[in-house]
Every structure is written in C-alpha cells, then in structure tokens.
Structure 1
C-alpha cells in the first residue's frame, strides 16, 4: 500500500464544511471537543459550517446539508474504521483524513503489524488471545500488555505484571478489558519512554512535525492520561539523541506512506534507551488524531509555526485534493495503492 497520488495546490474560499463529531463510540466526548474546535476554526476562516453529531441518520443529514467537504472529527468505531469512509465514498463527498482501505487496516492492530513489519518498521511481537485462554494461563511471560484489537486512544489497555491484582491466571471477576472484549492482542511489555510523532501532508508530500515525549507520573499513556488536563507532561521537542529523533520521524512518515494515510496521522512509540536504536518500537498509527486542546497533532503543528485554524484548513485542502485525484482515477477518497 502507498500514497502515490499526484499533488497540486488547492485554493480554499468560502466553503460549506460539514463537521462530523460525537457518534456513539467510547471516544464520543473527545470527538465532540475535537469537532467543536474544528468548527470554530473554520468559521473564523470565513467558511460556512454545519455541525453534525452523528446518529444513524447521518447519511440523510449530509444529503440535506449538501456540503462541499466533510471534516471527519470522529474517533473510534464507526468513524475511524472505514464504515463512515465507505458511506462518504458512496455519497461522492470529499472528506478529511484517510480513506476506507487505510482505515480498515490501521484500526486493527494485528493488520497494522502485518502491513508495517515487512517494510522494516519494528513493532512488538504478540498474538490474539481469547478471554477463555486468559482465564487458563498467561499467553506471554509477565509483564505483558493486553489491548483490544479494534479500539483507539488506548481504550481498554491493561498491563499485566507479577504483582497485578488480577490473579494468576487472570480471574474472570477481576476488572480488565477481558470482561468487555472477547478477543485481545497480547504483546510483550516494552519498558522505557513514551514517544509520539505526527505526520502532516503538504504540497511536497508527508513530513514529520517532530517528536513529543509523554511523561506520566504513574501508570501509562491511557485514555484518561490522554484527555485529562494535568495527567501528562508533553515535552516538545523531545530531548532525545539525534539518531532516535530521526528514526522516530522516519518510521512515522514510512508508516503514513505504507498504510496510505492522508491529511495527518500520529505514530506512537516506546523506546528502551538501554537498547539504543534496537529499543525503539512502533505501537500503532492513529489515522484520526484528536484535535482537542490537549491533542498532540495541533501541539506539534503549533511548535512548527502552524496555527490551529491553518492546520484545519490544510486538512480540508488535502481532502479536496485527494478527492479530485481519486475521482479521476475512479477510486474512493484516499484509497491506498498497491506498493
């Protein structure tokens, strides 16, 4: 898969933009915050905005609104997994961020591994396990990580250690993601530092905006730490050896390209500094990064001199460019091409 669509400059003027937000996923509240920020920014730029809190009638509401372009501010399922992307493709509406094929693969952590690892992008090993297996034995030596296969924002992630209060093997009555998900991805726990790198498309192709280190006093960078003020310190640019910064940026851009992302993406890492370059692992690539006041893509963009409203317009411009290019090729918005 790859991003080979030719690039032309798109001029924006007085657009009608529908902002999709909310929905019914676990990340509804975050999506509402992202959507409100995006809508306000677009209005400040002189565009007409229709705010849509997505319900089951979303296709009808979009048909009635007749927007020029859709800003997809949804997080999680079904806004991030290809479902909404397929609907928008059928309706012939340009939309921000990645297309159907990319979204289907990137939301699935196991499919993401299968796509990225053959291209030299290091990711933790592991395997899919059922909750019944967890109740019989540990799938990996402790410590290990359990995470849902198809969720974003670290929803439902658990670190199982020797002193975890979940039993050994895991007790079905112990609180954890095994109570909510029938299958989970088990991965070895990688000690070290939490890093993330955003990628932004532009006229010259995708570029990394830099690397942020996420410093957490306790626990790990889960949903609560991501979206609660004061829970996590963001250090940008991260204070890292130059070769690690360069490697993070390279892997982030390469993941963006291999998966066929459009607009922006954010790739998360763990780095065991004792192992040097061999200690850097990609955890996942997020195709629908948050646009809230605590979100990392707007923060990194600001650090590179790109104001929030300008960032939003850049994503709209990319959506229109991709839609025009893929219509000419007969494909859907942002459809990934074979490598």
Structure 2
C-alpha cells in the first residue's frame, strides 16, 4: 500500500474521559506505528485543541485512539461527520449504542444473542430500599457498573447485601444511571472483529487469565500478572461459536472498521455470554486486538495502516453498503 496516499493523518488521543491515560498510551503506539510505515501522522489531543483545526490544517483522515466518553460514544464521530473528515471505526449511532451497555444489551436480547440478566436503574430509581432488593432479583455475586464507562472503571463485584451501597456509590461517580448484572462464573474471553457488514470477520479468541480472576483496570494496563492465551486453548467448536456470536453482535450494532467484544463462558455449561462491544479498543502494549491480529500474521504496524485505510464517514459507508 502507498501509505503516502493516505494523506495527512491526525491520531486523536488523550481527551477528557476517565480513560485519558490509557488513550495517551494507545495513541502514542499508533502514532509511532503509522510514522514507521511512512504515514504523515501527527498527535492531536482534543482536550487542548479545537477539532475544527483538523479541517483548517488540511488533515485528510483521523485515527481515533480515544477511549470512553466524548471519544467512543459518538460525540467526536458526529463532529468529524460535520467537518467531513473520515475517521476509523464505527459511526455515530453504532458508537453511541456500544458505549451504552444497557442499549447494547437490549439489542443483544432483540437479536437472540446471549447476555447476562441485568437491571438498569435511572438516577431517580436508586432508593436504599430498591438497591437492597437487587441481589434478590439477580442473585449473588453480582456486578454493579456504570453503563457508559469502559476499562473496568467504576465496576464492583458484589458478594453480599452489605456491599451494595458502596458499589452503587462508586459506579454513580462515573454515571448517574446504574447497571446491575448477573455474575457469570467462568472464563473471560475477548474476540476482535475487523471489517464491515458482510465483510466483517472475527480474529482469534483470546482467553484472559487474571490473578484471582480479577481483571480490573490495574491488571488490564499496568501489570504483567495477567496472562493472555492466543491461541485460546478452547475447543474448536467453542471458539467458532464465540466468533459467530461476536460477528452477529457486531453487525446487529452496526459496527464498522474494527471492534472487540468481551464475553464470559459459564463454567457450568460452557455457554458464552456477551458483556459488551468496544468500538475503539485499546492499542497499548497490553492491548488485545494487536495480540489477536498477530496470531494470524498481522503486525501491529500493518493493523494500524489497515484500520486507517478503512477510515470513512457515515454517508460514505452507507453508499458502499447500498451499492
């Protein structure tokens, strides 16, 4: 590929979300990779610069390495649509749906895709009496999380009734709404997808083995204690079924470019359950999409260029799908 033909490229990183630190790590890796392949690439932090500078300074396309709010939720995608600057990853609606785990779950259920049982409580529905009854509805242990955050931020595994209040307090620091979810006892896996529509394909599944099963923010990004198994070591039929479910979810949510689904495999019967779809996955040294791509011979640098080359706008993507 003639990488010079990709034009002047901005790597959006940093931003204002709770995942800013991780985004800076992702963006730095992507920027270095693109430059090493001859792409005319520059760092661009929307927390310190006006997005309109992208148009004023002649950027031809954008690699979105932002995570979380205002970067992964459709906001920056909408701004880029208005500016007419093509960008990597999913469009406005798909990004918004995937960022909101409650909306994602509603689509999973409508499409007949497996996901843990859950309860969503708006800001006005979180009385002490209601919070106390959630374990009766979902059983123990259960998961309490903010529905519109990522990277395990604000999440608590609740083992007893007495832990509910603290879990709710933590989650609502990040989101006024609350998502409570049945805990699936078993193995955690993740599966990336690359492409769009009928061309979307799943990459190899990665099995995550975290210390004491605690795959939290620290273990995701800042320690080397977590093991990522790729090949996953799962039976072939289990891996294929996970890939089938993930591609179906990706298409149902209208994703494009790339994404990564997180799942749990229930130990009791080996049934996989979708937790969420990430539309701007991490690209740090600990990140999982590059590990999975590497397993099928796609280097980190090749992956970055491939994703950048697929940058588009909603209107352009719809024309391609409709042709």
Task: Provide the TM-score with structure 1 as the length reference.
Answer: 0.86
| Equivalent position of 1:216 in the other structure | 210
Alpha carbons of 1:311 and 1:134: their partners in 2 closer, same or farther (altered >3 Å)?
Answer: farther
Matches within 5 A, 1:158-173: 158-162=156-160, 168=162, 170-171=164-165
- 2:3–2:38 Cα contact (<8 Å) kept: no
Instruction: Report the count of equivalent residues.
Output: 315
Q: Which has the higher contact order (CA 8 A, sep 6+)?
A: 1
Secondary structure, aligned partner of 2:93:
helix
Residues in 2 aligned to 1:203 and 1:109: alpha-carbon distance in whole angstroms? 21
Residues in 2 aligned to 1:116 and 1:180: alpha-carbon distance in whole angstroms? 24
Deviations 1:252-274 (A, max 9, x none): 11111111111111011111132
Residues in 2 aligned to 1:100 and 1:203: alpha-carbon distance in whole angstroms? 16
Alpha carbons of 1:121 and 1:32: their partners in 2 closer, same or farther (altered >3 Å)?
Answer: same
Deviations 1:136-169 (A, max 9, x none): 313133211111111111211111103xxxx627
Residues in 2 aligned to 1:174 and 1:327: alpha-carbon distance in whole angstroms? 40
CA drift at 1:130: 5.1
Which of the numbers 35, 43, 47 marks the counterpart of 1:51? Answer: 43
Matches within 5 A, 1:35-46: 35-46=27-38
Alpha carbons of 1:233 and 1:90: their partners in 2 closer, same or farther (altered >3 Å)?
Answer: same
CA drift at 1:325: 3.3
| Equivalent position of 1:5 in the other structure | none
Alpha carbons of 1:66 and 1:114: their partners in 2 closer, same or farther (altered >3 Å)?
Answer: same
* 2:242 equivalent to 1:251: no
Residues in 1 aligned to 2:305 and 2:179: alpha-carbon distance in whole angstroms? 36
Residues in 2 aligned to 1:159 and 1:134: alpha-carbon distance in whole angstroms? 20
Larger helix proportion of the pair: 2
| Equivalent position of 1:127 in the other structure | 119
- 1:196–1:266 Cα contact (<8 Å) kept: yes
Residues in 2 aligned to 1:324 and 1:125: alpha-carbon distance in whole angstroms? 35
| Equivalent position of 1:78 in the other structure | 70
Residues in 2 aligned to 1:116 and 1:38: alpha-carbon distance in whole angstroms? 31
Residues in 1 aligned to 2:2 and 2:127: alpha-carbon distance in whole angstroms? 54
Residues in 2 aligned to 1:207 and 1:38: alpha-carbon distance in whole angstroms? 22
Secondary structure, aligned partner of 2:59:
coil
Q: Which consecutive unaligned segments of at least 5 residues does structure 2 have? A: none
* 2:13 equivalent to 1:13: no
| Equivalent position of 1:156 in the other structure | 154
* 2:282 equivalent to 1:290: yes
Residues in 2 aligned to 1:38 and 1:27: alpha-carbon distance in whole angstroms? 16
CA drift at 1:229: 2.6
Which of the numbers 218, 226, 244 marks the counterpart of 1:232? Answer: 226
Secondary structure, aligned partner of 2:275:
strand
Residues in 1 aligned to 2:3 and 2:197: alpha-carbon distance in whole angstroms? 14
Deviations 1:295-318 (A, max 9, x none): 000111111100111101111111
CA drift at 1:61: 2.3
Q: What value does the CA root-mean-square deviation take over the aligned residues? A: 2.5
Deviations 1:46-95 (A, max 9, x none): 11112111126432321232111100100001000000000000001100
- 2:189–2:208 Cα contact (<8 Å) kept: yes
Deviations 1:78-129 (A, max 9, x none): 0000000000000011000000010111100111011122222101111112
CA drift at 1:203: 11
- 1:11–1:317 Cα contact (<8 Å) kept: no
Residues in 2 aligned to 1:256 and 1:185: alpha-carbon distance in whole angstroms? 21
- 1:138–1:169 Cα contact (<8 Å) kept: no
Q: Which consecutive unaligned segments of at least 5 residues does structure 1 have? A: 1-9, 330-335
Secondary structure, aligned partner of 1:138:
helix
